[in-house]
Amino acid sequence: MALAGDNNQPVTAQDVSDIDTWWASKDRSIPHGWDDADGYIRTYIMPGVPKGHTCKWGVNEAGNGYYLTISGDSINKTWS
């Protein structure tokens, strides 16, 4: 995945597809998946979120899963 942590390029539609694949490969309903997700999001996804977009992630309110939301003009998606 060529996200900003790799080469300072913004997150693209292809990267969103790669995030879909990465997200699906992990169980985000168990705590050890939360640490993995947090580190990956901070290192590879967050730096590439386009200007004017927001990126939120963390343990959901119910405390039983992890989520990632990127929202703005070109990307509006939540992974949970």
DSSP 33-79: HHHHHHHHIIIIIGGGSPTT-EEEEEE-TTSS-EEEEEESSS-EEEE
Instruction: Report whether pLDDT(45) > 80.
Output: yes
Mean of the per-residue pLDDT values for the chain? 82
pTM as predicted: 0.79
Residue 11's CB is within 10 A of a number of other CB atoms, namely 26
Residue 29 is which amino acid?
S
Q: Name the β-bridge partners of 79.
A: 68
Tell me the domain boundaries of the chain. 10-79
- What is the model's pLDDT at position 18? 87
Secondary structure of residue 10 in the 3-state scheme: coil
